[in-house]
Structure 1
C-alpha cells in the first residue's frame, strides 16, 4: 500500500502532475516516481505524448507509478501500448516506434524513501493498521508531501538508473473477431479461446489440462 495524501500542490512545477494525481485519486511517492520516469522517457526519446501507439511502455510493476506514466506518455492498457511484465520491479522500458530508440528506467536503490525520513515507516505502519490518531494522520500526510516534493525536484540521475537498450518493438495492437463461448455464450476474442470437443470455449469456462503432478 502506498503513502497517500489528497491531490494538492507538490506537482505544480510539473505541468501534468495534478492531472495524474486526479486520475490516480491521490498523491503518493509511487505516483511521483512513475511520473518522473515518464518525463525522462519523453525527453530522452524526443517524443511527445502518444496519440496512438507511437510510444510503447513495458512496465515491470502494476503499482501506483503506472498511472503517472499513462497520463504523461499516453501509453495505456486500452490502446495496447502499455504492456506488463509482472516482475515486481519499479522498472520501465520505453520504446519510440518511429525511431526504434528505447531506454530502460529503473528506480535507483540509493534513493531510498526511508532514508529521506526514517521516522515515516513506523508512522506509516500505524496509519495502515488504523491505529493512528488524527494528529498522526496529519503528520503522516505532511511527511509524505515532503517526500513527494523531494521526488519531483530530484535530478533524474539521482532517482533512476537510465540506460539505452536494444528492445524488440512489440507488434501493434490487433482487433480480433469475437466468437461466442460454447458454454457461457459470452462473446470472446478468437485469440482468447480454446477448443474443447471441437467447440470454442473461453478461458474461464475451459478445463485445465495438465500432466504435472
Structure 2
C-alpha cells in the first residue's frame, strides 16, 4: 500500500468494528486517513465529522478519527452522497472530501451489481468467485491510490456545526416519555415528542 499511511492494525480495528471488509469501508478508511493527515485526531484536538451517507465507510471514520455518533461530533446528513466533511474547531480549518466513483476502476459497476446478488443470496457460484476476484482488485486499487486520486477535496460550503450540548428533557403530554428538549414540538400549549406530534397533526 505505497500511498496509504494506515497501518494494518488500524485497518483490522475498523474491520473488527464493522464486521466485514467491503469497498465502502475502504473508502471511509481513506477519508479518515485524509482527516488524520490534514486535521489530526479528535483525541488530540476537537474534530467534528459530517457524513452525507449512511454507508459502511462511516464506521471506518468513527474508528479512526474518534468522531462518533454517541459523542455528538459525528453528524449524519441523509443526502446519499459519498462525501465527508471534517472541521477542526480550534482554528476553523476544514475540508470536504467527495469520493470519485471512477476510482473503483472499470470493474466498479460490475462489482456493485455482483455484490447486490451476493448480499441477496442470489449469486451463482461463478458470480461469487467473480465478485471475490473483483473485490480483491478494488481493495488493492483503493489502498494503493493517492488520496488526491480518490477524493475531490475543497473547503466545505457550510460552517462547522455547533458542538454537542447537554440539553434538558421534557415529558411528552401524550405518551409520557422523556424527550430531549430540542426534539420536542409545541401544539396548543402542550409539549409532544415527534411521533406523538405527528399523530396530533393527523387528527387536526
Q: When the two structures are superposed, what TM-score results if normalisation uses the length of structure 1?
A: 0.81
| Correspondence 1:150 to 2:141 | yes
Give the one of 189, 201, 208 matched to 2:201: 208
1:184 equivalent in structure 2: 175
Give the one of 156, 171, 185 matched to 1:194: 185
How far is the alpha carbon of 1:107 from its aligned partner? 0.8
1:21 equivalent in structure 2: 15
1:7 equivalent in structure 2: none
2:122 equivalent in structure 1: 131
| Correspondence 1:40 to 2:31 | no
1:66 equivalent in structure 2: 58
How far is the alpha carbon of 1:124 from its aligned partner? 3.4
* Counterpart-to-counterpart distance in 1, 2:71 and 2:191: 26
Give the one of 102, 110, 131 matched to 1:140: 131
Q: Secondary structure at the match of 2:141?
A: helix
Q: Any stretches of 5+ residues in structure 1 without a counterpart?
A: 1-10
Distance 1:180 1:69, change over 3 A: same
Give the one of 56, 72, 85 matched to 2:48: 56
Higher helix residue share: 2
1:81 equivalent in structure 2: 73
* Counterpart-to-counterpart distance in 1, 2:96 and 2:67: 15
CA contact (8 A) 1:56 1:81 kept: yes
1:101 equivalent in structure 2: 93
* Counterpart-to-counterpart distance in 2, 1:160 and 1:177: 40
RMSD: 2.7
Q: Any stretches of 5+ residues in structure 2 without a counterpart?
A: none
Distance 1:12 1:111, change over 3 A: closer
Q: When the two structures are superposed, what TM-score results if normalisation uses the length of structure 2?
A: 0.84
Distance 1:120 1:196, change over 3 A: closer
* Counterpart-to-counterpart distance in 2, 1:92 and 1:12: 18
Question: What's the CA shift string for 1:41-85, capped at 9, x where partnerless?
Answer: 11012x12x139800111111111111111111111111111122
